[in-house]
Amino acid sequence: MPAPPITMINCFLIDIEGTIVKDKSYAPVEGAVEWLQRVKTFGKKFSLVSNNTTHSPEELLSLLRNKGFDLGEENLDTCMKVTGEWLKKKRLKSCFVLGNEALKSYLGKERIKIREDSSVQAVVVGLDEELNFQKLKIATRALVENDAYLVALHSNKVYKDSKGEIAPSVGAVVKALEYTSGKRGLIMGKPSKDFYRNVLRRLETKPENCLMISDDPLSDLVGAKKLKIKTAFVLSGKYDESILKYLDKKNKPDYVYKSIAEIKI
């Protein structure tokens, strides 16, 4: 598909993994560091909108800065941050976490008690590469016996791990727990409308002047389209163009590029 020039865009919402970095190795996509620098030079607004659940926002920023990306705190919105804010707003004091130590420690710093049993008010689901039956059992008991909230950091189907291999993502585990409990997972990150709306509000921009760029047309871009944000699918990540056959016309991305470096600013 040809890549037409984009006019009227004054703001970019940008996915991280598969879009500006290759995968969980965080090696930059070729040309991505320079592309982001040009966005800054031209005075356009941008935010990295990330469903990363394995690094705190501070860690993620420093990791990306070490790879050469010139970023300020105001350039990052993550599902981990939104989850902490949501738990505090709901005044929930305890949770069971399916996720790694970074997620637990981040929520701990937000004064949410992390417990290793089912007597909790929320089950928080991030990426847990050491997921096992015992953890799923505790989560299920919390949801069924303790009526805990099912809090999903996001609902992605798959991701590319640090070896560059496709693996089941957070959404797959959330679906399993929805099945065991009969509850709906509350999605904190992309593609939730609230997540996108908050970012747009913070950046003081209208959806039609915004371009969301991602390697995930099924989740990230369909969600953005629902809010009338323009969408660009990049082929530098987990999917190739054949994935588009699963989307009907109204959900297909507006543009397709080989990589972010091709996008005109």
- Residue whose beta carbon is closest to Mg ion: 18
Phi-psi region of 257 (alpha: psi -120 to 50; beta: other; left: phi over 0): beta
Task: Indicate the residue among 77 and 215 with the shorter CB distance to Mg ion.
Answer: 215
Would you say 51 or 118 has its CB closer to Mg ion? 51
In whole angstroms, how close is the CB of 220 to Mg ion at the nearest point?
7
Cβ–Cβ under 8 Å, residues 126 and 53: yes
Q: How far apart are CA 259 and CA 149, in angstroms?
A: 38
Nearest to Mg ion of 96, 196 (CB atom): 196
Would you count residue 18 as binding Mg ion (CB under 5 A)?
Answer: yes
Q: What is the residue whose two structure tokens read 């871009």?
A: 221
Spatial separation of the C-alpha atoms in residues 116 and 95, rounded to whole Å? 9
Measured between alpha carbons, how far is 167 from 153 in angstroms, rounded to an integer?
17
Residue 253 touching Mg ion (CB under 5 A): no
Find the part of the chain contacting Mg ion (CB under 5 A) among 6-14, 18-26, 68-76, 181-189. Answer: 18-26
Provide, rounded to whole angstroms, the least separation between the CB of residue 130 and Mg ion: 22
Report the residue number, 15 or 77, with the smaller CB distance to Mg ion: 15
17 binds Mg ion (CB under 5 A): yes
Burial of 144 (0-12, 13-18, 19+ CB in 10 A): middle
Q: Find the binder of Mg ion among 15, 23, 77, 128 (CB under 5 A).
A: 15
Q: Which residues pair with 94 in a beta bridge?
A: 113
215 binds Mg ion (CB under 5 A): yes
In whole angstroms, give the CA distance from residue 167 to residue 242: 19
Residues in the site for Mg ion, rule: CB under 5 A? 15, 17-18, 215-216
